Amino acid sequence: MLFSGGSNKTNVGTELKIRIGLGLGTNPKTTDSKSLGELVENLERLRFDSLWFSERVSGSALDPLVVMSWIAARTEKLKFGPSVMVLPGRNPVLLAKSLASLDVVSDGRVLPAFGLGAVNLGEHQAFGVNRADRSPWFNEALPLMRRLWEEDRVTHHGGRFSIEQVRVLPKPIQKPLDIWLGGLAPSELRRVGRLGDGWLPSFCTAEDIAEGIPVIDAHSKEAGRPAIDREHFGALIIYTSDGSMPEPIVKAVQARRPDLKATDIVVQGQAGIEPRIREFIDAGATKFILVPYVEPKDWVIELESLAVNTLHLQS
């Protein structure tokens, strides 16, 4: 993939759209209506693509379905998604209904992204699923949700769910309602290829993206699915505005990626974000979520600076 003028090109010269959004971490401070309102209004004014909310039942993050519904009512163009929503432990029929409804009332702006949940006993207890049962639950629930969005009536008899002639109405506006998955482990890349419509990993490098895309393509082919849209490969980028490297994020990188240095994952200072995005674009990614490790005291100043440093890359 070659970067040129804010666009990514395939081997046949087709331009791919570059999109840049913002993400709030697992313990955000921006949770009151005034701060959130200022954030989303400025994201939309400056033409950021999307806003993403992490899910932690035991943390300060708002419930993603609730806050995304609030965002839908406050904005007209800004897309939004969970990064990521825990699927094991949730009723797939009810969740399919909620997300379809959210897509309808937002005029097609919801970006569903799912995961297994944090490796944390408290989180597992909250969802009532044993760690060993998370993957089987996920692997059954996700295809069932897709069928409920796309088929008129669904009959399914599986290891965890059994339904007869169930329908979800209204159907989502987006057809299809694309499902984003994350992860870097071999089992996670296999799941993206078998079940996902997009890949959005975190704690990753451009090399991870370049190596992961053909692996995902191979799993898609093995599962008898078409290859994932070339515009549906992305990355989450953590940064610090002041150029610092706080010890907690260094330890987090060491725990998640002991083979890498913290600077391989975390961008120090906004000036370093554009070069990092360009590295990812050259590796094949087109969608990016920028996550400030420390939330700013003034979102207007932060977003206007981010817009100057990055949004010229959007196409």
- CA neighbours closer than 13 Å in the CB half-sphere of residue 201: 26
pTM of the predicted structure, to 2 decimals: 0.93
pLDDT of 21-47, one tens digit each?
999 988 899 999 999 999 999 999 999
Do residues 259 and 314 share a domain? yes
> What torsion do the CA atoms of 43, 245, 309, 36 make, to the nearest 10 degrees?
10
Q: Sheet containing 198-199: which strands, arranged edge to edge?
A: 85-86, 113-115, 180-181, 198-199
Q: Check residue 115 and give its pLDDT.
A: 94
Q: Check residue 225 and give its pLDDT.
A: 97
Number of separate domains in the chain = 2
Do residues 310 and 276 share a domain? yes
Do residues 95 and 120 share a domain? yes
Which tokens go with 215? 């692996």
Q: Check residue 283 and give its pLDDT.
A: 98
Collapsing DSSP to helix, strand or coil, 152 comes out as: coil
| DSSP H or E segment with residue 288 | strand 287-292
Low-confidence ranges of the chain (pLDDT < 70): 1-14
Do residues 240 and 312 share a domain? yes
Do residues 69 and 115 share a domain? no
Whether residue 172 is preceded by a cis peptide bond, meaning omega within 30 degrees of 0, is no
Under a CB-based contact definition with an 8 Å cutoff, are residues 145 and 117 in contact? no
Enclosing domain of residue 37: 1-79+231-315
| DSSP H or E segment with residue 15 | strand 15-16
Bridge partners for 68 per DSSP: none
Do residues 68 and 90 share a domain? no
Do residues 117 and 42 share a domain? no
- Report if residue 64 sits inside a domain: yes
- Report if residue 210 sits inside a domain: no
Q: Check residue 13 and give its pLDDT.
A: 44
Do residues 170 and 144 share a domain? yes
Q: Check residue 14 and give its pLDDT.
A: 62
> How far, in Å, are 88, 167, 200, 283 from residue 290 at the CA level?
26, 37, 12, 17
Do residues 75 and 89 share a domain? no
State the Cα–Cα distance between residues 172 and 145, nearest whole angstrom.
Answer: 12
Last residue of a domain, one of 175, 198, 221: 175
Evaluate the CA torsion angle 294, 300, 301, 307 in order and state its sign: positive
- Report if residue 304 sits inside a domain: yes
What pairing do the DSSP bridges indicate for beta strands 287-292 and 79-82?
unpaired
Q: Check residue 69 and give its pLDDT.
A: 97
Under a CB-based contact definition with an 8 Å cutoff, are residues 54 and 25 in contact? yes
- Report if residue 217 sits inside a domain: no
Collapsing DSSP to helix, strand or coil, 87 comes out as: coil
State the Cα–Cα distance between residues 255 and 183, nearest whole angstrom.
Answer: 15
State the Cα–Cα distance between residues 53 and 43, nearest whole angstrom.
Answer: 14
